[in-house]
Chain A
Amino acid sequence: MSFQFFHAALLWGMGLVFLPILIHLLRRRLVRRYRLPTFEFLLRTQRRITNRSRLRNWILLFLRVCAVGIIIFLASRPLLETEGGVSGVGWFPVHTVAVIDNSASMAFETGKGSRFEVAKRAVRRMIEDMSEADRMSIATTVGEPAAASLKEFQRKEALAALERVRQTDGKGAPARIVQHALENASPKAGRRNVVVFSDFARGDWESFQIRNLRQWNPHVHLQFVRVAPESGVEDLSLQNVKMKPWPPKAGFSFTIGARVFNRGEEKKSKVPVQLYVGEELRETIEVDLEPNGASPVSFRVNAPEKGVLYGRIELPKDNLSATNRFYFAAGIGKRLRALVIDGDPKRGLQDSETFFVVNALTAAPLGGESPVLTRVVASYELNNVQWDEYDYVIACNLGRWPENGKQRLRDFVEKGGGLFWATGELSSEKAAGLGWLPATTGGPVTLRPSKSLKIAQGEEAHRAFSFLGVNGGRFFSALRLARLTPLEPARGGRALLELPDGTPVLVTGSVGSGQVMVWGSTCDRDWTDLAVRPVFVPFMRGISEFLGGTQKGVSSSADAGDVFEIRAPTRRVGEAIQIRGPAQEERATQFTEKKPGPETMPTDGLRLGKKGSAAAVAYYRDAYLAGIYRVLTPDEKHIVAVNAPASESRISPVEMSFFKDKLEKLDVRDLPANESDPLRSILRLIDLGALLFLMLGGIFVAEAFLADRT
C-alpha cells in the first residue's frame, strides 16, 4: 500500500504544518504583563482549570496542525494504492476499462498459451471478481474505432464481450485507445481504472505520444500490465521483403528478396525458407542464422501472361507465427495489341509509314519491354485478320479495301476498339467510303510555306498528350507540315491539333463504344517531319493508351487491419459483394453511393477498382488476419495479400522508463504467464479526497467546539 500524489510538488507545502506552532510560540513571546491584587483568586482559578485548559490547548494546536496538513495533503490530490483486484463495494462501485493488446506481436507463444491468451485469462479473472455494482468495459488496440463512449458491462455481458475479442495480425494503436479509455471511463463510478494488457512491443508503443493524452484525469488510475515478459523475444521473422519489378509484367520474371532475422541467442542452422506460388511449393532455400543475425534470401518467379498471381514466403513455425509468413498478390498487366495496316505496301520498308509507327509503339527503355505488341498487315490481308485479338487499329494511307473490310472495321470500332486513321495520297473519306468517321476529308493541299501545329484550345489535358508532360504544345510548334488533307469535324468530332490559322489536323470522336482519331497528314516524312521528331514516340504512346486503354498490372497488398475500398460503376449501388478471407470464411459488404466531397477513404487502406468510373463504393473492414483475401464480384475478381505490418516484427519491449518519463503517475506491473492469481498484480487506486474532506470537516467542527469552550 502506498500513496500517489497528482500534484506531488505541493507536498513541499507540508512545512506549513508548523505554522500553528509558530503562531503559538509567537503569541507566547507577545505576552503582556499585569499586576493584580486579586492574584490569589487567579491562582486558584488557574489551578482548577490549568490541566483541562492545557490539554484543550494541546488538542487545539494538534487539530490546527492536522487541518493545515490535511489541506496541503488534499491539494496534492493523494491517491492510495492497494493491491487486490478490481472489485468495489456497493456504495463505491468500480468501472474498469480493460485494454487488451490484440496486435500481431501478442500472438507470441509463452508455453501457457499466447500472450494474448494470458491477458484474456487475467481479464476473465477480473470480470469474475467484479461485484454487482461494478462495471467493466473491454477495448482492444486493434479493431473497430472506439465508440463514442465505452460500453459498460456487468459480469455476464463482460464475459461475453471478452469472448468476442480476437487475436489479430494488425498493428495496435495503443495511444488512441488509452486516451479514449481515460477520457471515457464512467464518471459515475466511485473509482475508475484503466488497465492495459500488452507486451509493449516497440513496433506498437515506440510511437506512443504523451501529448495524445489530452485530458489526464487524476481520478482514473492507469495501469500498464506487461504480459509474460519472462517469455523473451526469441523469434524468426521475415523482414524487408521486396519484389522487383512489382507489379510483375505479364510473361516476365520477377524477384522476391527478403531478410530472415534470428531474434534469438542461439544459432539456427539450415532454416528452410519456402516459396509458395498459389498453393504450390515452388522452392526452398536453407539459411544459417547467427544469434541476432540476419541472412538474405532471393527467389525468382515467372509471372503468367494474364490473370492474378499470389503466393507466400514461409519460415518454420516458431514463437510468433505472424512474422513467419509474407503473402503477395498482384493482378498481371496486359500488353496492348495493335494492328497496323499499311495502305501503301509497295514502298521500301524504311520509307513506309508503318516502319515509323511500329518503332514508335514498341520503343522501350534499355532492357525493358514495350507495353505494346504490334502486327503489320497490308490492306489486302485484312480478310485474314482476327479483329478480336487487337485493342486498336492504326490505318496508314489506306485507299483500297477488301470485301467487307470497311464493315468489319466499323464493327470492331463500335464494339470498343480504337482506330487511328492517317490520311495520305491514297486515302480520303470519299475514296474510303467511311462516312461514320468523326471528320470529313478533302483533297490533299500543299502548304507553302510549311506550317507548324498547335494543340487546340482546351485540349491540352487530353490523354493523347499525357506523355508529353507539362506544356506539351511546344513540341508541335517546332515541327513542320508541308502537305495536308483538310479535315472538317463531323458527327461529334472535335479537333485536337490544328494549324496556326485553326485548320483541324487531328480530329477525335466516338463511334459506338470505340474511339476514333483522324490524322490529316501522313506518318512518314512525305508530308511532315513529325515521324523523325522526338515528339513522335510519346505522341504515339499517348494515342495508343487513349485508343487501347491502360492495361498495367495492379499490386494488391495491404497491412492487417487496413480497410479495403472497392469501387464500381454507379449501377451497382445497393449490390452486395462477398469477401473470402484466409480462413475461407465469407463476409458480405454492400456498395453504397459515393458521396461527393473529400475522400472518405481511411488513411490505412487499399483501393480496388477503377477510380475514374467509381460512383459506388463498398468498404471491407475485417481484414485483421494475415493471408489472401478474395473479393468476389460478378464481373471482376480482386485478390489481396494481407500481411502483419512490418513493425510487428519488432517485438522487443520498450523500456518502462520510457513511459515513466512521460507518465509520472503510471503504475506498471508484470503478469507472468504462469501467474496463478493474476489479480494480485492488479492495483486499485483509492482517491482519498472525500475522506480527507470529511476529516477536515470533523476537525473544523471539533476546533469550533473547543474554541467556543474557551
Chain B
Amino acid sequence: MDTDRYFDPIVISRLSNLQLRARHVVEGLMSGVHRSRSRGFSVDFEEHRAYAPGDELRHIDWKAYGKFDRYLVKQYEDETNLRAHIVVDASASMDFGDGPLSKWEYAATLSSSMAHLLLGQSDSVGLVISYEVEDVQVPSKSIRKHLLTLLAGLQAAKPAGGTGIARSLLALAERLKRRGLVLVVSDLLDEPEAVAEALKLLCLKGNDVIVFHVLDSVELDFPFEGLARMDDVETDRNITVECEVVKRPYLGLLTEFLEQTRERCADLGVDYHLVSTAEPLDRGLIRFLAWRSRSRV
C-alpha cells in the first residue's frame, strides 16, 4: 500500500480543512500499525467515548450500555499520563513558502496531526499560538473533542508581526505547574540566546521539549539568481544583492545558525528536528512517535 501520498505536502495542500488534514496524516501514519493504548487511571468522570478494540473491558460503562445499547468507555480527567503543550510560531516569517504549503500551513498541519495523535491516546494537549506581543492559548485537555478547539484556534490564527517565540516559551515555562511535553513548531528566527534561555527554563522545570524547526526549502537552498531585491517579511527592510555573490556566505551563516541551534538543543536535552516544508509530513510525526516510544521505555 502506497502511504506516501498521505504525507505529500502537495496532496495535503489540496485539503482545505485542517481537521481533515490532521486525520489524513494520522490515518496514513497509523494504517497497518497495531493500535495500543496506554493505560490511564481516572479520578473524575469527564465523558464517554466509543469503545475501541484494545480498550480494557473493565472500563466499559455497562450502565450506559444498558441505556444506549452501545459500548461506551468512561473517561476521566486524569486519565492521561502526559500533558502536552504545542507552541506554534505565528510570526509573519512563518507566512512564507515557495512550495504547496507555507511554513505556517506546514506547522499548523504538523501541530494538529500531533494533537490528533496525542488526544487519540488520551493525552492532554494544550496550544499556544505565539505572536510577537501576546499569545493565543488553548488550555490543555485530554478529551477528544478538544481537538476541534485546538484546530479552530489554529485555523483562526493569521501569521503576522515579529517573532515572539522566546517570549512565548518563557511565558509557558512560568505558567506550567506540572511537568509535561512541550512541542515547539517554529522557524526560530528570534534571538538565539533568548530562545535558548526559554528552552533551558522549560527543561529545568522538568519538561520534555521537542523542537520542530520549520524552514522553507528556499531558505535552506537559496535558489535565487542574478540581481535581486530581497524584502524582509517582518519589517520594511530590503536589500539588493547579487545572488551568486551572497549565496555562499548566506548558506554559511544559515548552516552556522542551524548548527548552533542544534548544539544548544542537544546541550539542553531538547529533541531538535529540522523540518523542511518540502519534506513529507510524516517524518516529523515519526520523529515524535520515536520520542514517545523512547520516553516510555
Contact = CB atoms under 8 A, between A and B. Distances in A.
A35 B249 contact: no
A35 B233 contact: yes
Contacts of B224: 34
Nearest to A33: B229
Contact of A49 (B103, B232, B234, B245): B245
B229 A710 contact: no
Contact of B230 (A27, A36, A49): A36
Residue from the set A31, A33, A34 with the largest chain B CB neighbour count within 10 Å:
A34
B227 A30 contact: yes
B244 interface: yes
Contact of A41 (B233, B245, B253): B253
Contacts of A35: 96, 230-233
Interface in A27-83: 27-28, 30-46, 48-49, 53, 57
Given A45-B250, A710-B242, A33 B228 contact: yes
Nearest to A30: B227
A33 B231 contact: yes
Given A31-B240, A36-B218, A37-B187, A42 B245 contact: no
B219 A37 contact: yes
A46 B219 contact: no
A27 B228 CA distance: 10
A37 to B, nearest CB: 4
Contacts of B226: 27, 30, 32
Contact of A39 (B103, B187, B215, B239): B239
Contacts of B244: 710
Contacts of A57: 242
A49 B216 CA distance: 25
A43 B239 contact: yes
A37 B216 contact: yes
Nearest to B231: A35
B268 interface: no
Interface in B169-211: 187, 189
Chain B interface mostly helix, strand, loop or mixed? Answer: mixed
B296 interface: no
B11 interface: no
A37 B234 contact: yes
Residue from the set B96, B235, B239 with the largest chain A CB neighbour count within 10 Å:
B239
Interface in B246-294: 246, 249-250, 253-254, 257
Contacts of A40: 189, 232
A46 B222 CA distance: 14
A30 B103 CA distance: 29
Nearest to B241: A46
B130 interface: no
B237 interface: yes
Contact of A42 (B93, B187, B230): B230
Interface residues of B, number: 34
Contact of A31 (B229, B237, B245, B253): B229
Interface in A209-237: none
B237 to A, nearest CB: 7
A664 B271 CA distance: 85
B201 to A, nearest CB: 24
Interface string B71-93: 00000000000000000000001
Contact of B227 (A31, A43, A45): A31
Given A37-B233, A41-B254, A42-B241, A32 B228 contact: yes
A95 B166 CA distance: 84
Nearest to A27: B227
Contacts of A37: 93-94, 96, 103, 187, 189, 216, 219, 232-234
A41 B250 contact: yes
Contacts of A43: 232, 237, 239
B278 to A, nearest CB: 15
A710 B245 contact: yes
A36 B238 CA distance: 10
A34 B237 contact: no
B219 A53 contact: no
B151 to A, nearest CB: 25
A57 B227 CA distance: 12
A49 B249 CA distance: 8
A52 to B, nearest CB: 9
A46 B247 CA distance: 10
A41 B244 CA distance: 15
B232 A39 contact: yes
Residue from the set A32, A37, A57 with the largest chain B CB neighbour count within 10 Å:
A37
B74 to A, nearest CB: 47
Contacts of A28: 227
A139 to B, nearest CB: 62
B253 A45 contact: yes
Contacts of A30: 226-227
Nearest to B235: A39
A28 B242 CA distance: 10
Contacts of A33: 228-231
Contacts of A45: 241, 246, 249-250, 253
Contacts of A36: 96, 218-219, 230-233
A27 B226 CA distance: 9
Nearest to A32: B228
B215 to A, nearest CB: 8
Contacts of B94: 37
Interface of A: 27-28, 30-46, 48-49, 53, 57, 710
Going nearest first, the 4 A-B pairs with the smallest beta carbon separation are A37-B93, A39-B232, A45-B249, A41-B253
9 contacts: A27-B226, A34-B229, A35-B230, A36-B232, A38-B215, A39-B230, A39-B239, A42-B246, A46-B239
